[in-house]
Chains A and B, each alone.
Chain A
């Protein structure tokens, strides 16, 4: 028994609470509608229908005129029917006012309804209306926002008021704005339960609310109250302009930094990318030095045998001529007579012997200096050389005589570095020791003979012509550096078919190629 009683009490309590909740909600809804109609409807009494067969009318009385509900009478009459009376209830309102309500639970639509309100038999309100034209519905329920999968869009969906026959006559107004902003947009949709909001900003929170009204063709009424706002964030954008601009700025800054670094290390990078093409000057000096040393240290058994030949043809002999001094012309007979045979092509041994003899001859006369005309005599191109301004110097020079043996052969391309500065010769350190080494190579490739001569530097830096057929280059070695004068020919006519190119040995890439012939390195 006790358990049953308790159970009944529990059920009663639950039902009461639920009803109370609904009553509270109903009261709140009524309060909202009253407020709406007080604002929207100028006529009295203000009536509205919430469903298909109900009507609620009310009017407001000021404080001084308020009385009990019994003082008032609400008389309503349908067309061609008898009048009826509605019971009145009073409710307090804000500001000391009172609201008097009349509610009908069975109504006729599409007929004129005549309403008269009396207070103490005094007609205070008179109105004729069609009930289907005064609908005031509850706001739509279950407003939800979902993402459509597309950027800048949101889908709003709701539950329409459950009124029979009226679903197609309902019109909705959707209001949406960015959260926190009071400026929003409104969109209307008819007879639908969802709407896609477009043109929204990506990654932004939006606040959406909705209200409903009958469209006015068959039924009409007032706008319902707004629903509670619902918040939803749109999809984030792919290319946020802020992110794009920041990325551009950062890349620009990095580019500038890299440029600065490059500019600061410009020289280092230039060296790496465009390395300086070495010139054979240093090698020339090395060879000259080695040759000098060799000349200085070696006595007999000089074995000038080229290690190998670039060309497989005749080896070129080395003609070593002494330096030219300021003294009178030395007898040409001091020269190895065999040197004159350097013009011809000989065997290797004979050439070497000649070189040996030349060197010995030179040994015998260390102090002798052969003037330039002696050189000419050697080459059977006698030419007076009166301008033998032999100076005590450390200069040595090399003359490379090129004569076209074949006359038809093409000149090989010789790079500066591959020159036979193996043809080289060291210059003397002092005037007394100056051993102008003159050597001449006979180019076995047939390009001609090369003869190297050394002499003192001339004050006028002129190189007297040696005779036809000679292509010579003056080398001035000051002990610190070597200067190579451009090659010139004693007689251009005799050059024949060959073309003379000049080179500048001054740490620069030669503009022309030397047709001297293939280099012949020496092995000591």
Chain B
């Protein structure tokens, strides 16, 4: 179930989305800021975490990212970008399904607090997040 080739496929799609976003540039710029999860991974710290902590971090990150991209979906974007956005959302949903099947507990972070991050450029969302997903 946890097939890394599938995950690699998601990552590749995120790369494509980011490339498309970057090419879009001016037309795709967004004024508001998005809250996205932090993607940094310190392996020494990660090794020290238990499964629950890890699950919590992953699940919250997925949640936040999903919301950010969904909000982006609402705004008017070109068809190309829209397809990328839709693909990203579906991928996130798939990842959540994988985690569910692995009995990894879901976690919804509280509204306030936590690790907030501002998004500067739309194009970098996909990249950052996919980098984060590597450690499922």
Whether A110 pairs with B132 at a CB distance below 8 angstroms is: yes
**Would A106 and B39 count as touching, CB distance under 8 A?**
no
Q: Taking A110-B131, A110-B134, A165-B135 as contacts, is the C-beta distance between A52 and B43 under 8 angstroms?
A: yes
User: A218-B8, A218-B11 are known contacts. Are A110 and B43 too (CB-CB below 8 A)?
Assistant: no
Q: Which residues of B contact A6 (CB under 8 A)?
A: none
A contacts with B, residue count (CB < 8 A): 19
B44 touches A53 (CB 8 A): yes
Report if A53-B42 is in contact (Cβ < 8 Å); known contacts: A165-B135, A217-B11: yes
Instruction: Tell me which of B4, B40, B132, B134 contacts A78 (CB under 8 A).
Output: B40
Q: Is A68 located at the chain interface by the 8 A CB criterion?
A: no
A110 to B4, CA, bound (A): 18
Chain A interface mostly helix, strand, loop or mixed?
A: loop
The chain A residue with its CB closest to the CB of B43 is A52
What 1/0 mask marks residues of chain A from 93 to 114 whose CB sits below 8 Å from any chain B CB? 0000000000000111111000
Closest to A215 in B: B8
**Is B41 among interface residues, defined by CB-CB distance under 8 A?**
yes
Q: A79 within 8 Å of B by Cβ?
A: yes
B117 near A80: Cβ-Cβ < 8 Å: yes
Instruction: List A contacts of B100 (CB < 8 A).
Output: none
Contact present for A110 and B8 (CB under 8 Å): no
Task: Say whether B25 faces chain A, with CB atoms less than 8 Å apart.
Answer: no
State the Cβ distance, B119 to closest chain A Cβ, in Å.
12
Q: Chain A: which residue is nearest B12 at the CB level?
A: A217
Complex CA distance for A144 and B9, rounded to whole angstroms: 33
- Give the size category of B's interface with A: 10 to 19
The reply to whether A106 and B40 contact each other, CB–CB distance below 8 Å, is no
Bound form: Cα–Cα A130–B131 in Å: 10
CA distance A78 to B38 in the complex (A): 12
Q: Is the CB of B43 within 8 A of A53?
A: yes
Interchain CB contact (< 8 A) of A217 among B8, B38, B39, B44: B8
Q: B65 to chain A: closest CB distance in Å? A: 14
Within 8 A of B (CB), among A209-267: 217-219
User: Which of A52, A53, A109 is in CB contact (< 8 Å) with B40?
Assistant: A109
Determine whether A31 belongs to the interface, using a CB cutoff of 8 Å to chain B: no
A108 engages B11 (CB within 8 Å) = no
Chain A contacts for B8, CB-based, 8 A? 217-218
Would B12 and A108 count as touching, CB distance under 8 A? no
A110 to B135, CA, bound (A): 10
A164 to B134, CA, bound (A): 13
A82 to chain B, nearest CB (A): 14
Contact for A111 among B39, B43, B44, CB less than 8 A? B39
- Indicate if the CB atoms of B4 and A108 lie closer than 8 Å: no
Which residues of the partner chain A approach B38 to less than 8 Å between Cβ atoms?
A: 80, 111
- Say which residue of B12, B39, B117 sits within 8 Å of A110 (CB atoms): B39
B91-120 vs A, CB cutoff 8 Å, 1 = contact: the mask equals: 000000000000000000000000001000
Q: Which of B33-83 contact A (CB under 8 A)?
A: 38-44
A221 → chain B closest CB, angstroms = 14
Q: With a CB–CB cut-off of 8 A, which chain A residues contact B40?
A: 78-79, 108-111
- Is A395 located at the chain interface by the 8 A CB criterion? no
CA distance A221 to B112 in the complex (A): 38
User: Which of A109, A217, A218, A219 is within 8 Å of B43, CB to CB?
Assistant: A109
Which residues of A are found within 8 Å of B39, using beta-carbon distances? Answer: 110-111
Check: A168 CB closer than 8 A to any chain B CB.
yes
Contact of A106 among B12, B41, B42 (CB under 8 A): B42
Interface residues of A in 318-333 (CB under 8 A from B): none
Question: What A residues does B11 contact at CB under 8 A?
Answer: 217-218
| Complex: A78 Cα to B41 Cα, angstroms | 12
CB distance from B126 to the nearest CB of A (A): 13
> What B residues does A168 contact at CB under 8 A?
4
CA distance A107 to B41 in the complex (A): 9
> Which residues of the other chain, B, contact A111 by a CB distance below 8 angstroms?
38-40
Contact digits for A128-139, partner B, Cβ 8 Å, 1 yes 0 no: 001010000000
Q: Once the chains are docked, how many angstroms separate the CA of A34 from the CA of B42?
A: 26
CA distance A168 to B135 in the complex (A): 13
User: CA A275 – CA B117 in complex, angstroms?
Assistant: 117
Q: Which 4 A-B pairs have the closest CB atoms?
A: A110-B131, A111-B40, A218-B134, A108-B40
23 contacts between A and B (CB under 8 A): A52-B43, A53-B42, A53-B44, A80-B38, A80-B117, A107-B42, A108-B42, A109-B40, A109-B42, A109-B43, A109-B131, A110-B41, A110-B128, A110-B132, A111-B38, A111-B39, A132-B131, A132-B134, A164-B43, A165-B135, A217-B8, A217-B12, A218-B134
B: residues with CB less than 8 A from A are 4, 8, 11-12, 38-44, 117, 128, 131-132, 134-135
Beyond the given pairs A80-B38, A106-B44, A218-B8, 16 more chain A to chain B contacts, judged by CB atoms under 8 angstroms and listed by A's residue number, are A53-B42, A78-B40, A80-B117, A108-B42, A109-B40, A109-B41, A109-B42, A109-B43, A110-B40, A110-B128, A110-B132, A111-B40, A132-B134, A164-B43, A217-B8, A218-B11
